[in-house]
Structure 1
Amino acid sequence: MSTNIKITRICEFCKNEFTARTTKTRYCSLSCNSKGYKSLVRQSKISQSNKQTETTKNPALEVVKVKDFLSISQASLLFGISRRTIYRIISRGELDVAKFGTRTVIRRCDMDTFFSLPMDQSMLRPTQEFPGLENCYTITQIQQKFGISPGALYMLIQRHGISKYAVGKFNYVAKNDIDIIFNVKGHGKE
């Protein structure tokens, strides 16, 4: 059963205009059809090869993508951010974690939801206003007054989520926050 329709089309391979006898004809000749098919097969093989190269370059990423629970290193690899940034997010209380001995584990769904939330202005503002220099200690003053090492002080500030304020070359911490931690009577009144 032949048709008498004639449709002007453009060949998908050589881009020349030709007259087709069906609405599904894509190529002007058998040779263009063969070359077009070979081109599609070639592109498919190239994309498979590129994908395989990516998985060979980064095999850990493929393993991490299917896990429900991630370590800090795995989360940093998967989301392309540093480990330190993840620890900062955790210390601000914006991400829930579980501790197994010294190992910290994050649920994948928690990471996904954290990074899918839009950043609003409340996240960009400091959580606590600067109380003023007269109501703050410098880090050195805290170390001298309470006899604490720099590392231990840093851990206390991180653990309690105390805000630090950088003014010039000094870091300041609110006297009230430090006095509460060290149980000073009067909380800041000397």
Structure 2
Amino acid sequence: MGFSKLKIPRVCEHCSKPFEAKTVMTRFCSISCNNKAAKEIKKFEKERIEKLTLLKNYAIKIAEVQSREFISVSEATVMFGISKDTVHRYIKRGIITGVNLGSRLTRVKRSDFEALFSAVEVPDKSKEAPEKPTFKIGTCYTISEISEKYHADPATVNSVIRRNKIPTMKVGSFVYVPKNLIDKIFDGK
């Protein structure tokens, strides 16, 4: 590739410093950046190969651990991503079954962990449509009516309404609150 008389503005891929390149193919600002980048690429490739060989070497052991009913604490920490202290705490609380076969020979039941970490279905709250309050005559109280009926201070009634997020409707100087929601709260006390 020939040299250009133009200086091409570039950013070094290794050190991210701007420089002027002489060719279109130039990627690094200097030979040292080029060498450092090449070493990093070799290092990442070597690590990837090491991980692959490690997985090949331990594939049989991993399959064997997954088929056993009782596993060691260290195997449980690797399989389920929790600390050894957490495993011992679960054993102490009785959440999982643990058997102590001697010093440093604690075995735990794998099925207990699988049941502990299985997916829990959370009910969808969007299916349950909240009942819409009706602000018709006869279905609402005013603040003063609530305080008279339940012998409560109007400030207390207002705080209960705010705390429980009860919908209100203001008409003129009166604040109307649905009877069914207020009765549920004050009858429950």
Fold conserved between structures, TM > 0.5: no
* TM-score normalised by length of structure 1: 0.31
* TM-score normalised by length of structure 2: 0.32
Q: Which has the larger radius of gyration?
A: 2
